[in-house]
Amino acid sequence: MTGRYIDIDGIRTHYLEAGEGPTVVLLHSGEFGAAAELSWEFTLPALARHFHVLAPDWLGFGRTDKVFDFADPRGRSVRHLSRFVARMLAERGTDEADFVGNSMGASNLLRIAAESSGLLPIRSLVAASGGGFVPLTPERQTLLSYDGTPEAMRAMLGAMFHDPGWAADEDYVARRQQLALLPGAWECAAAPRLKPAMPTGAASAFGRADPTPYEAIAVPALIVAGAEDRLRLPGYAEELGRRIRHSEVHVFERCGHCPNIEQADRFNDLTIGFLRRVHQKEMPWTTNL
């Protein structure tokens, strides 16, 4: 696994790369301190034994430049990512890739696939803990209230994971803290949570209806969720499965918001098996519409 930098639209973009074969792009989550190296440290090596894997840091996250666009908060980040993917695929003579996302990465991936915008050349997708209605739960409030202290980081990890051992692991907390406190990282992660100063008080993005037309997703999709995910409503993954034509749904017991970390071996085996079937053009998935 090699960390590299590339200039995309004048923005120094960091990514991890490993393996050979069909390209798989990993899209990390969006909590404070999120980065490719934390989201995918247990997944990238396993996938790289079978595929060529790219794992970029989103704009404003990890070791990519800390830039946030208040005029277009999501659009600029997604367009920047799409240009990164286009550049990487062009260098290898490839015109499509499989995508795997967790949380924010999964939600953005599902939206792009549903909108058929062509921003990303998606052959298939794996969405872990993404998509659907996102309630403003007490655990979500804990994530949003991170203030840069180790105590707040432990509380955030406690809200994300089912196993309390992650929040109790001081080395893991310190690694998370290191990335969360990179210059500009807190500001970029906090910026989307700011509310406009208007009399009506624009609502948070959390707790609002999700208008994504999931029925429009035409590529094979693997939906993975944790049964003890306190950042989501019970049953949301099954609802996504009913709305996405060619999909299968797996809910992991004793697992929270990050199955790619908390139950990495199971997640990796499931993802590798799914991607192999996609490339072998084995399509046993039920048409849900």
Q: How many residues does the chain have?
A: 289
CA dist., res. 180 & res. 125, Å (int): 28
Total of domains in the chain: 1
Question: Over 90: is that where the pLDDT of 283 sits?
Answer: no
Assess if residue 137 is contained within a domain: yes
Q: List the one residue out of 158, 164, 132, 161 whose CA is nearest residue 145.
A: 158
Helices (H), 93-230: 104-115, 138-144, 150-160, 165-168, 170-180, 185-190
* Residue 287 domain-assigned (yes or no): no
Give me the pLDDT at residue 181, please. Answer: 94
Tell me whether residue 74 is in a domain: yes
* CA gap 29, 103 in Å, rounded: 5
Domain that holds residue 94: 2-194+206-279
- The pTM of this model reads 0.92
What band does 91 get if pLDDT is binned at 50, 70 and 90?
A: confident
Q: Domain of 22: which CATH number? A: 3.40.50.1820
Query: Can you spell out the DSSP letters for 61-126?
Result: STTS-----TTSTTHHHHHHHHHHHHHHHHHTT---EEEEEETHHHHHHHHHHHHT-SSS-EEEEE
231-269 pLDDT tens trace: 999 999 999 999 999 999 999 999 999 999 999 999 999
- Band (pLDDT 50/70/90 cuts) for residue 191 is confident
Provide mean pLDDT across the span 64-77.
78
Say if 201 falls within a structural domain.
no
Residue 194 predicted with pLDDT over 70: no
> Residue 289: inside a domain, yes or no?
no
Check residues 197 and 174 and name the one with the higher pLDDT. Answer: 174
Residue 131 DSSP one-character state:
S
Q: What is the pLDDT of residue 69?
A: 75
95-109, 164-178, 196-210: range with lowest mean pLDDT: 196-210
Rounded to 5°, angle at Cα 259 from 100 and 139: 110
Whether 152 is covered by a domain: the verdict is yes
Q: Torsion over CA of 251, 256, 257 and 260, rounded to 10 degrees?
A: -70
- Dihedral, CA atoms, 193, 194, 198, 201, nearest 10 degrees? 30
Mean pLDDT across 95-113: 95
CB 266 within 8 A of CB 259: yes
Residue 48 has pLDDT above 80, yes or no: yes
CA-to-CA distance for 60 and 138, rounded, in angstroms? 26
* Residue 265, in any domain of the structure: yes
Strand order in the sheet with 97-102: 2-8, 11-18, 52-56, 23-27, 97-102, 122-128, 221-226, 247-252
pLDDT of residue 256: 97
